[in-house]
Amino acid sequence: MTAEKARLIKVLLLATLAGVLAACASKGGKDPKDAALASYRLASRGGEATTVNRYLWAASLETLDFLPVFSADPIAGLIITDWYQNPETPNERFKVTVYILDSSLRADALRVSVFRQQRDEKSGGWQDASVNPATSREIENAILTRARQIRLNEIS
C-alpha cells in the first residue's frame, strides 16, 4: 500500500469517527439552512468540538462545483471529489480533496490535495501520475478568494 493510499484511508476513518461522534452529540432544532455552513469537527487536541470556518466550507463547494462530489463531511471539514475526466483529454482524470483545518479564515486553515491519473494504453487501466504542486496552491487561492468575497458580502 502506498503512503498516499494509507493517508487517504486514515483521513476517511477520521472523518467517519468524527461523524459518529457528532451524531452522538447532535442537538435538535437547528435551522436546515445553517446546517451546511455552521459545521463542526474534532479539534486536534483534547477532542473538543471546534467550528469549521463556514466561509471556507461554502467557498470550497462553490469553487469545486464542476467536479462530482464523492463525499462532503461538514463535521470533519472534508470534501472528496470523485474522478473527473475532461472530455477534451479523455486519457487523464483528476480528483481533489479539500481539508478545512481551522475555524479561522486563513491560508493555513485550508489544505488541498490534487490527484491525477493517466490511462495506460496497453492495459487500458489507470496509472497514478504526477501533479504540478502549483495546482493545489492555485485551487487553495481560489477558495480563499471566494471565501473572503462571501464574508465581505455577508458583512455589507
Encode the chain (156 residues) as per-residue pLDDT tens digits: 565 555 545 545 444 444 444 444 444 444 433 434 433 334 444 444 457 899 999 999 999 999 999 999 988 899 999 999 999 999 999 999 999 998 999 999 999 999 999 999 888 899 999 999 899 999 999 999 999 999 999 887
Domain that holds residue 135: 3-155
The C-alpha atoms of residue 30 and residue 20 are separated, in whole angstroms, by 18
- Residue of 141, 139, 142, 115 lying closest to 129 (CA atoms): 115
pTM of the model: 0.67
Provide the domain count of the chain: 1
